[in-house]
Every structure is written in structure tokens, then in C-alpha cells.
A and B are shown apart, each in its own frame.
Chain A
């Protein structure tokens, strides 16, 4: 007991060993978050010859399908229909991927969850960042197409695009938080979520345009805009699609709702509240997670 080397003094306070700060703790440990995101990314393309190229091929093939089937076969009259769809597709994919991968994230990382003390909000947040990363190639494709069709960037509209990203990032993370912990208790949840996300693309103005909603529902069309994802899609269309059409001013007046920014910020507020709820739900049930895995 009384050896010379035993004078190890620790000046840290006595505190509970389990992390308590939730999402705040996640951003305090950014290095670990970065490692988790990198792990996810490098594991995904491991052993594939084309690697990251798949992130380009996948959206391009989808773009082609919509352009060909909806634009050419069914003959939709919306101007620059492919770009219109692609704007929606980017938002929807970001959301759906965050929601789906986030829901499975805790179960998939069970070896870490069961053995290491770390804020478990880390996993849904990492899923969101991986999805955001995958959006990069799609954004590059979109920008190239837009530049070729006479689009000029507008700073105010591009800020709207950033707002759209913030809405989806927060909303997706909040749902991922809630459902990831639910998925631990009942694995059915992830199947349920993937069905749920099938509906997302029909709830936003992607394969149809907003002016159709407006003319069909008249004064009730505003309720449609209480959906933050629809606002996000419209904000992206405003930033990219509108500029590629022949008469941007006219298209903006007919296809983009008035007060879109107001609805955008309302969507952001809704997402923020959802995030708080998500964190509360997560914290409430997180205690039982390690034993249920």
C-alpha cells in the first residue's frame, strides 16, 4: 500500500461517469463524431471498385428515370421538369436517408453502445452527417446542369437553400433520435420507418408542382406549407430550378408561394421544437438501451 509510486493525484471532481449533456456533449466531442462519420463513409465503399462514383451514378439514374418517364412518356408540361424533380429529390433523399439510417444507427452500433461510455446521440447525428455528405455529389450534378441551362446564382435564394438544409438536418435528426431508441425496444420500428419514408416524396412538390396544389385547394393550400419538408423543397426549387426556366419572374410568381421565407422559418422553428422533443424522448428511454440490445 505504501509504495513510493502511489502519489497519483487527480484534481477532477467526483461526478457521475455516464455522460449527461446529450446533444451538447456530441458537439463537445467533435473529434469522435468525425471519426464515426469517417468510419461510416469508408466502410460503405469498402471492396467496391467504383467507390464514391456510386454516389454520382445513383442520383443520375433516378434523375434519368423521372425525366424519361414523367417528362417524356407522361408528358408533364412543367418547364425544366428534370431540374424541378431533382431539387425535390435532393431534399427528400437527405431526409429519408437521415431518418432511415438514423433509426437503425443505435442497433447497428451495438458493440460500441454496450461497452463504451459515450453520448449515444452521437449515432443519429453521425447518420445525419453521412447523409449530408452524400448530398455533395448530387449538389454538384445539380449545379452543373443549372449552369448549362442559363442559371445565375442569387445570394438571397442561396441563403434560402441553406435554410432548407438546416430544416431537414434538424427535423431528420429529431426523428432519428426518437425512432433510434424505439428501434432498440422493437426492431419492427425500422421497417415501419422505411414504409413511412415512402410517403415523403408524395408530400412535397416534386413530381407535381406547387401551383397544382394551389389551384386544387385554393385557400387551404397554406396548410400544405406547414410541412417543413415541402417548404425545404420549395426553397431549393427557388434557389435552383426557377433560374433555369425561360421566364424566371413569371415562374416564381406562379410556382413559388408568397411568404415562402416566413413558412421556411416557421418550418425551422417546428424542427427546433421537434429536436428538443427528440432529445427529451431519447434521454427518457436511453437508460434501458444497453440491456435491451
Chain B
């Protein structure tokens, strides 16, 4: 088990080898709808490949910017690396503990208080009780939600929700950190705090996987860009070339730039 096929060196952090993931789409849910569709000769289900023979390896300490249009398979890839999903074909291998956010505030229970949710979420992310207690003050301080800590998270604003989720995830001693949509919510000071924290993660030698549509923050955070296009690996390499490849450096999309200026550097993930 310790030397998987291919014999990757000890510095390899993530291996994605010929990975395929397809989804089954069911167009109709009720029996009646299905019967009608059958009679009319329409398909009642179909499959589509969210990921199509994707291969790459990541060395420990690299920070990867994952880019691509909506629906290109970024989130699916992240879920495979996170272990939420398993590939249909190919292999995904990771080394060490994984933390991060696949959409903010994952697994928060709206009826429980912030405090209870911190413990629950930390447990889900693989922290022990002692570890959570040790880091609890840091987490609360980072989230900065004040007196709301002891009220149910169902009453939180979306920003507070995200801050608490991010605060927990960022305090896990992980070897691989995944970030998806983390900066979509939250105000400017918090975004800046998150970016600083992520840079800290990167500089500590952890592998960083960062999904973003914002070219400036990718440029700042990452040293390699992977671009997915309809589930296929379209580009893998240098940051600036990658950004040019997805045309986010903006040669022709002038209408986009107007509103982006302010949020540009912070990465307004959409």
C-alpha cells in the first residue's frame, strides 16, 4: 500500500491519474412523468462526463489555481480530491490530512449554536476534542462574530455563517488545503484576512488548491494553474499563461472590467 503503482516520490502530494467521473441525470422524477416521456419517445435519463480522463500530479507545497468556466468540473474535481466522491475510473491519491472548504459552512446545523457547531464541524474535519478545545479561542477570534457565538447559526447572516466555517477549516492542521468559493461572501476586511491566512498556509509548505475566477488573486496566491474545459484538462502550467488561456486577463471582455476594479484583487468569486 505504501508504494502505489507508478512509484511516486515521497514529495508527491496529490495524484490524479486518468480520472473519469460521470453523472446520471434523471429528467423526470414521478412515475407519471416517466411514463409520458416513454410514450413520447424521449430519454428518461442520460449521463454526462463531469470529468473526462484528467491526469496530473501535485508536489507537496505547490499552490494550484484551478480555473475554468462554470460547469467545467472544478467542484467535482475538488470533491474527488476531498474524498466526498470516488472516481468512476482512474485513481485519486492524496498524502496526509485534507481540510478546506467546499462551499462555506459545510455541515452547520441551523438549530445549534455557533459554539456547538464549531465543535461538530471540527470533529467532521477530523479534529479531536482536545485539539478543538486548544484551538477554540483562536477560531472564535478569527471568526469575529462576537456575542452571536451562543445563538443558533440559523439566525446568522450569510457573512457570519461563512466566517465561522472558514475559521474552523483554517485551523485544522492539514497537509492539503482546498478552497472553493471561500471568498464569495464576507466583507472586504474579512476577505483580506482570509487571503492573508491562505498565504500563510501556502508559505508553511502545505499544498493549496484554490478555485477562483479572479485572475489577480490567482496570480497572487498560486504558482501553477490548471484549467478545466468541459471536464477535460485543457491547460496545466504557468500562472500567467493559464490566465491568458482562460482569457481572464481580459483582452476582449471590457464590460467586465468596469465593476471588477474594486473587488479585483480580493477575488470576487462568482
Please report A residues at the B interface, Cβ cutoff 8 Å.
1, 3, 5-10, 12-19, 31-32, 35-36, 39, 42-43, 46, 109, 111-118, 287-288, 290-292
Interface centre among A3, A287, A291 (most CB of B within 10 A): A291
**Alpha-carbon distance between A21 and B79 when the two chains are bound, in angstroms:** 19
**CA A32 – CA B83 in complex, angstroms?**
17
Chain A residues touching B, majority SS: loop
The reply to whether A8 and B81 form a contact with Cβ atoms under 8 Å apart is: no
Q: Which residues of B lie under 8 Å from residue A117 when comparing CB positions?
A: 82-84, 98
Cβ B116 vs Cβ A42 within 8 A: yes
Nearest CB of chain B from residue A7's CB, rounded to whole Å: 6
Across the interface, A17 reaches (CB within 8 A) one of B82, B109, B203, namely B82
B8 within 8 A of A: yes
Tell me the bound Cα distance from A118 to B60 in angstroms: 23
B106 touches A116 (CB 8 A): yes
How far is it, in angstroms, between the C-alpha of A26 and the C-alpha of B61 when the chains are bound?
Answer: 31
Q: How far is the CA of A46 from the CA of B223 in the complex (A)?
A: 48
Q: Which of B97-141 contact A (CB under 8 A)?
A: 97-98, 102-103, 106-109, 111-112, 116, 119-120, 123-125, 128-129
Docked Cα-Cα span, A77 to B102, in Å, equals 62
Q: How near does chain A come to B155, taking the closest CB pair, in angstroms?
A: 12
- The answer to whether B85 and A18 have CB atoms under 8 Å apart is yes
- Which chain B residues border A14 with CB–CB below 8 Å? 4, 8, 12, 15, 93-95
B1 at the A/B interface (Cβ < 8 Å)? yes
CB distance from B28 to the nearest CB of A (A): 13
B204 within 8 Å of A (CB atoms): yes
> Do the beta carbons of A39 and B116 come within 8 Å of each other?
yes
Cβ–Cβ < 8 Å partners of B205 in chain A: 5-8
Contact with A111, one of B60, B91, B107, B125 (Cβ below 8 angstroms): B107
On whether the beta carbons of A32 and B124 are closer than 8 Å, the reply is: yes
Question: If A16-B83, A16-B86, A17-B81 touch, does A10 touch B112 (CB 8 Å cutoff)?
Answer: no
Give how many A-B residue pairs fall within 8 Å (CB-CB): 117
Given contacts A5-B203, A39-B112, A115-B106, contact A10 B95 (CB under 8 A): yes
Q: List 8 A-B contacts (CB under 8 A).
A: A10-B175, A14-B94, A15-B93, A17-B82, A17-B94, A116-B125, A117-B84, A290-B84
In the complex, are the beta carbons of B84 and A116 less than 8 A apart? yes
Nearest 3 Cβ contacts at the A-B interface: A8-B205, A117-B83, A17-B83
Q: Determine how close the nearest CB of chain A comes to the CB of B154; give it in whole angstroms.
A: 10
Q: Given the interface contacts A18-B84, A287-B86, does A35 sit within 8 Å of B119 by beta carbon?
A: yes
Is A114's CB under 8 angstroms from B84's CB? Answer: yes
Question: Within the assembled complex, what's the spacing in Å between the Cα atoms of A50 and B103?
Answer: 37
- Report the minimum CB–CB distance from B3 to chain A (whole Å): 8
Please tell me if B262 contacts chain A, counting CB pairs below 8 Å.
no
Distance in angstroms between the alpha carbons of A288 and B80 in the assembled complex? 13
A111/B98 in contact, CB under 8 A: no
Chain A proximity mask over B58-85: 1 for CB below 8 Å, otherwise 0: 0011000000000000000001111111
Neighbour of B92 across the interface among A9, A17, A109, A292, CB < 8 A: A17
Are B85 and A12 in contact, with the CB atoms below 8 A? no
In the complex, the answer to whether A13 meets B123 with C-beta atoms within 8 Å is no
Cα A43 to Cα B113 with chains together (Å): 10
- B171 CB within 8 Å of chain A: no
Min distance, Cβ A1 to any Cβ of chain B, angstroms: 6
- Residues in A whose Cβ lies below 8 Å from that of B119: 35
